[in-house]
Homo-oligomer: A and B are copies of this chain.
Amino acid sequence: MSKTSRPVPPRAPTLEDVARAAGLSSMTVSRALNTPQLVRPKTVEKVLAAVKATGYIPNALAGGLASRRSKLIAVVVPQINNSMFVDTIQSISDELAVRGYHMLLCVAGYAQQTEAELVATLLSRRPDGIVLTGIHHSTELKRVILNASVPVVEIWDLTPTPLDMLVGFSHEKVGEATADYLLRKGYKRPGLLWTVDNRAALRKSGLCEALARNDIREPAFVDVSLPARFASGRQGLRDLLKKGSFDVIVCSSDTLAQGAIVEAQASGLRVPQDLAVIGFGDLDFAADTHPSITTVSVDRQVIGQRAATLLADRIEGLPQQETIVDIGFHFVERDSA
């Protein structure tokens, strides 16, 4: 009165179970699933039927262990809830999905120590590739990652000496382009509303040095904590206006610019006549605010798409052209400055 029929297997069906059901060897089933072109069509059919019958779901842990390819890409970003990065993350995810990879997403915060530790634990998943945000990493992280000899793409920055591959643009040049615009438009008294992160700092120094070369000395600025928010833009402008008088406010992101514009208007200043405002990023609202925001456009989706493509190509041994990609940027003149 005990084990009469099936003892109800509590464990998930394996390749072996499918093979048994199909009257084949497990190896043939594996081939039918992964490289069907190497298997007789009729056999493939049998296998697929058996898969459906058994409810088989492959075990990628076992597969990855055996094949040494996990089909996993680890992505490390400082923050998710940051308008700058979400679009990039989404496009990485989309492109990876097309290529058959899954995305392991890790939020590192802006502390280097944390990033090094995170990457170490991520490597235990044996990802086929890693995406890192930025190019400033602790030596510990570099050591670990180079030692693992896993393909890496750094994004959102530019350097002639990346760890491996890179997709980004020059933040210094963004700063310079902004300075050029200010000079061309005849602005003389700029004020800065600036978030405190590495990339923003580069844009700031590019801007300030270009201004200095034209005899405009270090502008007054207000630091803003991350992520950039509308409210910080409003508050930041209030703080800035206490420090002096300005004809233009340059913001390290459109979100701050949007806040600054509203704050200016709320305090009776006309934008751009009384106070001009410049943003960065060309976020989706920038063209539609009132006035629309003069800003620097960066294709955040392309960054993700190219990064994912670089990794997948490298992993799959496909020929690669450039592995250092400057996606550039362009200045967008609108109504706010």
Contact = CB atoms under 8 A, between A and B. Distances in A.
A147 interface: yes
A290 to B, nearest CB: 5
A80 B224 CA distance: 25
Interface in A59-84: 59-65, 70, 72, 79-81
Among A60, A61, A86, A234, find the residue whose CB has the most chain B CB atoms closer than 10 A: A61
A289 B266 CA distance: 10
Contact of A231 (B12, B90, B284): B284
B93 A124 contact: no
B107 A104 contact: no
Query: Copy number of this protein in the oligomer?
Result: 2
Nearest to A79: B90
A262 B289 contact: yes
Contacts of A106: 93, 97, 102-103
A105 interface: yes
A105 B124 contact: no
B148 A57 contact: yes
A259 B288 contact: yes
B288 A125 contact: no
* In the A-B complex, the 4 residue pairs with the closest CB atoms: A230-B285, A231-B288, A81-B86, A60-B124
Contacts of A126: 59-61
B79 A289 contact: no
Contacts of A41: none
A55 interface: yes
B65 A62 contact: yes
Nearest to A11: B68
A7 B49 CA distance: 47
Contacts of A102: 104, 106, 121-122, 125
